[in-house]
C-alpha cells in the first residue's frame, strides 16, 4: 500500500505557523497585562477552571432552629458540637460574654463554613440566618396590628450524595451524642424569662448563679428530707411513668407567708437537680395560644415557675361566659388567657409534650386558689413554708455566723422565736448587720424583744376592738327588741 504525503504541509510551514501563534499569544498577554488588573485576570481564570472541572454530585441537609412550635434538638446539638471545631483559618466569628460568665462564647458567623471529617467522609457545615418581617393581626379593640421582625436560623450540611446513608445513620447520631457529653461537662443552670423587647414574646436566658442549696435552706428538717427524696424518686422513674401511661412531670405547690423561703427552695431544687428554670410571668400572657407556644419552647429537665399565682393575674373562670368586645360580640376562646388553658398544660394533653419537667407554683394563701389547680396530677406535693422554728434558727446561725456548736444566747433566742411568728428572712437580715458574733446575737435578741412587745400590743388592741364591737352589736340587738 502506498501512502501519498504530498498533501501534508512541510515542517517549515508548521514551524512558521507555530511561531506566528506564539507571537499572537504573547502580544495578547501583553495587552491583557496592561489593560486588565491582575485580580480581574485571576477571577476570569478561576471561572474557566470551575467550569471545566468535573463537579461531584453533592447532597445537603438543612437543620432549622425550630421544628414547628418546638425547638430542634439536632440544631442545638450541632451548635454545641461545632463550637469545638472552630479553627484559626475561619475569618469571621461571633464572640460574646454575659455577665458572670466564666468563659467567652465563640461561634462562627453568618455564612461561615466549617469542614469536618467523619470516617473518611468530608462534610461541610454552613450557618445561615435570614431576617423575616411579619404583621401580627390581633383581634382586640385596644391593640393595633404589630409589625415585628423574626430571625430564621439554620445549618446547611453538605456532602457527597454517595454517603447520605452514613451521614443520616451514623454522623447525625454521633453529633447528638457528642453534644450531650459536652453539655454534661459544661452544664450551667439557666434562668429563662420572657423577653420584653420581642414581639411575639419569647424566652431569653441568663446564667443562674443563685447560691441557695438544701444545706443552707432554713426549713423544717423533715420537710426538707421529704422534698429531696421526692425529687430523687421522680428523676429515677422514667420507665415507671411510661409503664403507667403518665407524662413524666411533677407539680409542687409552695404556700406560706412572704419571707419564708419559697424562692430559695426553688433555687435549691434547681441547683440540686441541675435543671434550668423558666420564670413564667402570667401578666405577660394574653391568650391561651401564647401560653401554648411558650411552654412548647421549654426544654426537658427544667422547672417551670409561676410565683404568687394568686396575685399575678386574675384568671377567668373555666365555666364562665366568653368575653365580649366593645361591639357586643363574643370573643373567641383563643383570644383570652383562661384557667382552663393553664390547667391543660399541667394535666391535659399538652402536658405530655416533654419529659422530666417540674412545675412549681407559689402562693401566699392556698385557700384563694381554684381547687382544680390543687388536685394531685397538677400539684402533686403541697409544701407549707412556715415561720421560723428553733431548728431553722440553728441552721441560719450556722450558715451566717459559722457557729456549729452551742452558744449561751441560743436558749433565750429560741424561746423568743417560738413565742411569736417571724420569718427566716427577717432573722437573716438581723444576723447580717454585724460580723462580730456576740454583737450580732445581742442585736438579734433586742430585735426579738421589741418585736414581741409590738406583737403583744397588737394583740391587746385587737382584743379591745373585738370587745367594743361585741358591745355595740349587743346594744343594737337590745334596742331592736
Whether residues 240 and 371 fall in one domain: yes
Whether 320 shows a pLDDT value over 60: the answer reads no
Do the domain assignments include residue 345?
A: yes
Whether residues 96 and 182 fall in one domain: yes
Whether residues 369 and 220 fall in one domain: yes
- DSSP H helical ranges for 221-338: 221-235, 238-244, 262-273, 288-296, 309-312
pLDDT tens-digit readout, 132-149:
665 555 444 444 555 555
Task: Work out the average pLDDT over 277-297.
Answer: 86
The pLDDT assigned to 148 comes to 52
Do the domain assignments include residue 194?
A: no
Region label for 322, one of left (φ > 0), alpha (ψ between -120 and 50) or beta (otherwise): beta
Do the domain assignments include residue 475?
A: no
CA 472 to chain centre: 59
Whether 38 shows a pLDDT value over 90: the answer reads no
Task: Work out the average pLDDT over 88-100.
Answer: 65
Kindly state the cell numbers that stand for 243.
409503664
Whether residues 270 and 336 fall in one domain: yes
Q: If pLDDT is split at 50, 70 and 90, which confidence band does 334 have? A: very low
Q: To the nearest whole number, what is the mean pLDDT of the chain?
A: 79
Whether residues 378 and 276 fall in one domain: yes
Task: Name the domain boundary from 153, 186, 219.
Answer: 186
More confident residue, 156 or 145: 156
Do the domain assignments include residue 35?
A: no
The pLDDT assigned to 340 comes to 78
Whether 216 shows a pLDDT value over 80: the answer reads yes
More confident residue, 374 or 314: 374
The pLDDT assigned to 306 comes to 93
Whether residues 279 and 253 fall in one domain: yes
Domain holding 310: CATH number? 3.40.50.300
86: part of which helix (H) or strand (E)? none
Whether residues 221 and 365 fall in one domain: yes
Do the domain assignments include residue 342?
A: yes
Whether residues 422 and 294 fall in one domain: no
Rounded Cα gap, residues 116 and 101, in angstroms: 28
More confident residue, 35 or 433: 433
Do the domain assignments include residue 166?
A: yes
Whether residues 322 and 418 fall in one domain: no
Q: If pLDDT is split at 50, 70 and 90, which confidence band does 279 have? A: very high
CA distances from 430 to 186, 219, 433 (A): 37, 18, 6
Which residue range(s) make up the domain with 349?
205-384
Whether residues 414 and 359 fall in one domain: no
Do the domain assignments include residue 90?
A: yes
Query: Which stretch of 48-52, 87-91, 229-233, 440-444 has the lowest confidence by average pLDDT?
Result: 87-91
Whether residues 234 and 311 fall in one domain: yes
Whether residues 237 and 362 fall in one domain: yes
pLDDT tens-digit readout, 157-203:
999 989 999 999 999 999 999 998 888 777 788 999 987 655 667 88
Phi, psi torsion values for 21, nearest 5 degrees: -65, -40
Query: Which stretch of 60-74, 211-225, 314-328, 457-471 has the lowest confidence by average pLDDT?
Result: 314-328
Whether 470 shows a pLDDT value over 60: the answer reads no
Which of the listed ranges 14-18, 105-109, 255-259 does the model predict with the highest average pLDDT? 255-259
Kindly state the cell numbers that stand for 57.
454530585
The pLDDT assigned to 249 comes to 92
More confident residue, 337 or 425: 425
Q: Please name the residue that has the C-alpha cell 331592736.
A: 480
Is pTM beyond 0.85? Reply is no
Burial of 387 (0-12, 13-18, 19+ CB in 10 A): middle
Nearest to 279 by CA among 308, 312, 305: 305
The pLDDT assigned to 130 comes to 78
Task: Work out the average pLDDT over 291-297.
Answer: 85
Task: Name the domain boundary from 384, 413, 432.
Answer: 384
Task: Name the domain boundary from 129, 155, 186.
Answer: 186
Whether 360 shows a pLDDT value over 60: the answer reads yes
- For residues 422 and 451, the answer to whether their CB atoms sit within 8 Å is yes
CA 389 to chain centre: 35
Nearest to 273 by CA among 345, 344, 357: 357
Kindly state the cell numbers that stand for 300.
426537658
The pLDDT assigned to 227 comes to 96
Task: Work out the average pLDDT over 226-234.
Answer: 96
Phi, psi torsion values for 188, nearest 5 degrees: -125, 125
Rounded Cα gap, residues 309 and 287, in angstroms: 17
Task: Work out the average pLDDT over 375-400.
Answer: 90
- For residues 151 and 132, the answer to whether their CB atoms sit within 8 Å is yes
Do the domain assignments include residue 417?
A: yes
pLDDT tens-digit readout, 444-460:
999 999 988 876 555 55
The pLDDT assigned to 184 comes to 78
Domain count, the chain: 3
Query: Which stretch of 66-70, 362-366, 465-469 has the lowest confidence by average pLDDT?
Result: 465-469
The pLDDT assigned to 323 comes to 46
The pLDDT assigned to 89 comes to 56
Region label for 111, one of left (φ > 0), alpha (ψ between -120 and 50) or beta (otherwise): left
Kindly state the cell numbers that stand for 48.
474557566
- DSSP H helical ranges for 3-161: 11-35, 38-52, 73-82
Task: Work out the average pLDDT over 320-328.
Answer: 48
Whether 234 shows a pLDDT value over 90: the answer reads yes
Amino acid at each position: 500500500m502506498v501512502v501519498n504525503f504530498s498533501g501534508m504541509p512541510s515542517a517549515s510551514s508548521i514551524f512558521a505557523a507555530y511561531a506566528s501563534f506564539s507571537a499572537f499569544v504573547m502580544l495578547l498577554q501583553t495587552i491583557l497585562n496592561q489593560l486588565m488588573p491582575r485580580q480581574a485576570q485571576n477571577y476570569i481564570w478561576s471561572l474557566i477552571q470551575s467550569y471545566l472541572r468535573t463537579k461531584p454530585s453533592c447532597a445537603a441537609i438543612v437543620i432549622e432552629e425550630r421544628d414547628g412550635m418546638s425547638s430542634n434538638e439536632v440544631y442545638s446539638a450541632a451548635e454545641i458540637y461545632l463550637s469545638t471545631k472552630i479553627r484559626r483559618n475561619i475569618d469571621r466569628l461571633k464572640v460574646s460574654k454575659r455577665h458572670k460568665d466564666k468563659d467567652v462564647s465563640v461561634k462562627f458567623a453568618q455564612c461561615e463554613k466549617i469542614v469536618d471529617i467523619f470516617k473518611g467522609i468530608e462534610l461541610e457545615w454552613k450557618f445561615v440566618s435570614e431576617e423575616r418581617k411579619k404583621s401580627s393581626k390581633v383581634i382586640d379593640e385596644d391593640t393595633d396590628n404589630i409589625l415585628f421582625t423574626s430571625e430564621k436560623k439554620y445549618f446547611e450540611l453538605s456532602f457527597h450524595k454517595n454517603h447520605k446513608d452514613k451521614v443520616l445513620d451514623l454522623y447525625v447520631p454521633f453529633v447528638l451524642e457528642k453534644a450531650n457529653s459536652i453539655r454534661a461537662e459544661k452544664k450551667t443552670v439557666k434562668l429563662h424569662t420572657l423577653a420584653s423587647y420581642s414581639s411575639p414574646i419569647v424566652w431569653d436566658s441568663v446564667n443562674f448563679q443563685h447560691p441557695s442549696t438544701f444545706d443552707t435552706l432554713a426549713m423544717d428538717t423533715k420537710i426538707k428530707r421529704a422534698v429531696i427524696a421526692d425529687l430523687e424518686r421522680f428523676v429515677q422513674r422514667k420507665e415507671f411513668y411510661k409503664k403507667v401511661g403518665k407524662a413524666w412531670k411533677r407539680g409542687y405547690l409552695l404556700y406560706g407567708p412572704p419571707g419564708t423561703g419559697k424562692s430559695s427552695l426553688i433555687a435549691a431544687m434547681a441547683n440540686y437537680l441541675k435543671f434550668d428554670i423558666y420564670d413564667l410571668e402570667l401578666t405577660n400572657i394574653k391568650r391561651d395560644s401564647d401560653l401554648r407556644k411558650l411552654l412548647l419552647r421549654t426544654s426537658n429537665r427544667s422547672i417551670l415557675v409561676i410565683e404568687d399565682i394568686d396575685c399575678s393575674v386574675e384568671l377567668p373562670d373555666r365555666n364562665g361566659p366568653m368575653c365580649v368586645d366593645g361591639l357586643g360580640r363574643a370573643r373567641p376562646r383563643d383570644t383570652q388567657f383562661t384557667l382552663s388553658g393553664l390547667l391543660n398544660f399541667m394535666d391535659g394533653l399538652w402536658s405530655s409534650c416533654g419529659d422530666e419537667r417540674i412545675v412549681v407554683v407559689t402562693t401566699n394563701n392556698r385557700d384563694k386558689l381554684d381547687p382544680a389547680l390543687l388536685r394531685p396530677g397538677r400539684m402533686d406535693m403541697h409544701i407549707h413554708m412556715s415561720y421560723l422554728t428553733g431548728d431553722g434558727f440553728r441552721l441560719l446561725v450556722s450558715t451566717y455566723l459559722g457557729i456549729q456548736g452551742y452558744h449561751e444566747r441560743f436558749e433565750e433566742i429560741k424561746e423568743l422565736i417560738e413565742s411569736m411568728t417571724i420569718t427566716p428572712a427577717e432573722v437573716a437580715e438581723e444576723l447580717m448587720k454585724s460580723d462580730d458574733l456576740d454583737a450580732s446575737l445581742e442585736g438579734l435578741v433586742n430585735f426579738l424583744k421589741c418585736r414581741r412587745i409590738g406583737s403583744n400590743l397588737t394583740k391587746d388592741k385587737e382584743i379591745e376592738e373585738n370587745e367594743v364591737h361585741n358591745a355595740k352589736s349587743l346594744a343594737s340587738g337590745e334596742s331592736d327588741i
